[in-house]
Amino acid sequence: MFEKPPYTITEKAADYLVKIAETVTRLEFGTEFNRDIKLHRENRVRTIYSSLAIEGNSLTLGEVTAVIEGKVVAGRQEEIKEVKNAYESYDKIMTFNPYSIDDFLKAHKLMTQGLVKEAGEFRSGDVGVFGGGKVIHIGARPQFVPQLIEDLFGWAKESELHPVLKSTILHYEIETIHPFADGNGRIGRLWQTLLLAKWNTIFAWIPMESVLYQNRPQYYQAIEDARKANDSGVFIEFTLSAIFDIITLQEKHQVKHEDKHQVELGDTQFAVLKALENKTLSRKEIFAAIGMNSDSRAFKRNVEPLITDGFIEMTVPDKPNSKLQKYRITEKGTAAIGGANIRGVFSNY
């Protein structure tokens, strides 16, 4: 039996948990969030930008986007490397086991390779957090770090506590133990996102870190207050409020997006859906079936909106430009062409 870390689940925290569960259900089943690949990509960039900005990376959101897209950016090479490493870490997030120390170290190596000497290794020396010229927090002595992480992960694996609550506690405890020479904040936020995504995969695309960045003073204060109390209760409350805020924003965006841009499905889009009704086709095959040239303009005008709004989906969604990419109709697309004179609706971009 592993020792339980000190925490209190307050009534406020419990209320947030209920609201989070309800909102996640609506976002997952009542909106097109799961199929909004464009938004997923944008959110991933926001996640990386925000998590690095918390640690002082000076690149703008536009510059972070450019780095991820492989463009040349005029900036400090170390900061550009941080972006590339973070992108690779989040790109592999669903391959990690949240209770595996080996995966924890592997993720840290991805996050900090080429930036710190002990990438992927627990620190060998003492480390502290400084602010305003004074020591704010001293991490655990290095000789105790491996056992503390083993105990923490062992408790988390055995605990029947709700994953959302568990994720906040691990986030806080990782910050408190400070197992690495550098990158503790980045890996703590990554690991909370991992636990959330293992509970519900939509969290792999939720930029929780953006709310933490926007509320940095409160974020730091919640950590400090929890340390003083030797109880992560106040940090749990704050982090749950951040999760609730960001998923509520995502839901509102989806509803506004779907309500604001509804227009009749055009003849060409309808023809695309008909072509895919009983087949899975490549881009070239789609346009051959509807008798059009498959240039990039035609694709953006007639096919991309159908993907964005969930009428059709990619067979290789993680690699939009894959040579093996094909497209298939979804239930929403089938419904749009299922009845007489039905033409559906989609967002007008």
DSSP state of 281: B
Angle between helices 233-260 and 11-30 (to 10 degrees): 30
CA distances from 210 to 31, 173, 234, 245 (A): 21, 21, 20, 10
Contacts of 27 (CB under 8 A, 6+ apart): 33, 202, 247, 250, 251, 254
Q: Do 11-257 and 264-347 show the same overall fold?
A: no
Residue 207 or residue 263, greater confidence: 207
Site of tokens 């506590």: 161
pLDDT confidence of residue 152: 97
Across 110-183, the runs of DSSP E, i.e. the strands, are 128-131, 134-138
Of 208, 253, 244, which Cα lies nearest the Cα of 347? 253
Q: Is the pLDDT of residue 134 over 70?
A: no
Predicted confidence (pLDDT) per residue in 207-254, tens digit: 999 999 999 999 999 999 999 999 999 999 999 999 999 999 999 887
Cβ atoms of residues 13 and 240 within 8 Å: yes
DSSP state of 125: S
pLDDT confidence of residue 131: 58
Query: How many residues in the chain?
Result: 349
Site of tokens 């995504």: 197
Residue 319 or residue 57, greater confidence: 57
C-beta neighbour count of 297 within 10 angstroms: 8
pLDDT confidence of residue 207: 94
Predicted confidence (pLDDT) per residue in 281-314, tens digit: 999 999 999 988 888 888 988 898 899 888 899 9
For residue 101, which amino acid is it?
I
Calpha distance 43→298 (Å, rounded): 26
* Cα dihedral 199, 256, 47, 36 sign: positive
On whether the 264-347 domain is CATH 1.20.810.10, my answer is: no
Q: Which of 136-145, 205-214, 325-334 has the lowest mean pLDDT?
A: 136-145
Radius of gyration of the chain measured on its C-alpha atoms = 23
Q: φ and ψ at 284, to 5 degrees? A: -65, -40
Cβ atoms of residues 312 and 333 within 8 Å: yes
Residue 154 or residue 141, greater confidence: 154
Pairing of strands 262-264, 345-347: antiparallel
For the record, the structure tokens of 109 come out as 């190596």
pLDDT confidence of residue 126: 85
Mean pLDDT of the chain: 89
pLDDT confidence of residue 264: 57
Calpha distance 96→198 (Å, rounded): 10
According to DSSP, the residues that pair with 263 across neighbouring strands are 346
Residue 29 or residue 264, greater confidence: 29
Q: φ and ψ at 101, to 5 degrees? A: -65, -35
**Boundaries of every domain in the chain:** 11-257, 264-347
Calpha distance 213→133 (Å, rounded): 22
For the record, the structure tokens of 338 come out as 């299922």
Predicted confidence (pLDDT) per residue in 94-120, tens digit: 999 999 999 999 999 999 999 999 999
Calpha distance 78→280 (Å, rounded): 44
Of 161, 163, 187, 158, which Cα lies nearest the Cα of 175? 187
- CA-CA-CA-CA dihedral for 11, 13, 17, 18, to nearest 10: 30
The CATH code of domain 11-257 reads 1.10.3290.10
For the record, the structure tokens of 115 come out as 């930036």
